[in-house]
Structure 1
């Protein structure tokens, strides 16, 4: 599996699927599976049994994981979805926007 360029807290744009064009924040990144969970995207309904924490149970809505290839990182400076390059700065690897060259 290739290294993911998307991290928790990043803003991404969905490129395909029923939520195409939506911009939202990454809640959880799962590099081993190559998937991300994005706030408000791929919402599914799940039957939940009553537990100590959730006395009611019933049907709950939660975000499902989507493949990382279906999202693109949004550059904070040019506000466009972009591919990601890498540079080494002070011995640390930083991500670079391929469209405007900004580091983030």
Structure 2
């Protein structure tokens, strides 16, 4: 498996689909499926049976996963979508992600 350019907690821009142009925070990354769940993006209605937690039952709105090819991280400097690069950190032991547009490090 290859490394993904999206991590949990990143703020991403949606490139395509019904939510094109929207931004949101990544809640979960599904590595095997190469998908991510983004807050407020790709909302679907799920039917639920009545339970102790939800005694009424009915429809519940929740986020569905989006393929990561449709997401771009936002540049921390400009706030616009950017591509991601990897380079060695100053200590030379690990790699850090950086925005290709501004060269700024992405935390």
What is the TM-score normalised by the length of structure 1?
0.94
| Count of aligned residue pairs for this structure pair | 104
Query: Which is richer in strand?
Result: 1
The RMSD of aligned alpha carbons is 1.1
**CA displacement at 1:52 relative to structure 2:** 2.6
Q: Name 1:49's counterpart in structure 2.
A: 49
Gaps of 5+ in 2: none
Alignment partners' CA distance in 1, 2:24 and 2:70: 13
Alignment partners' CA distance in 2, 1:34 and 1:42: 16
Aligned ranges 1:18-97 → 2 under 5 Å: 18-89=18-89, 90=91, 91-97=93-99
**CA displacement at 1:75 relative to structure 2:** 1.2
Deviations 1:7-32 (A, max 9, x none): 11110000000100001111111111
**CA displacement at 1:53 relative to structure 2:** 2.3
Alignment partners' CA distance in 1, 2:49 and 2:38: 24
Q: Name 2:3's counterpart in structure 1.
A: 3
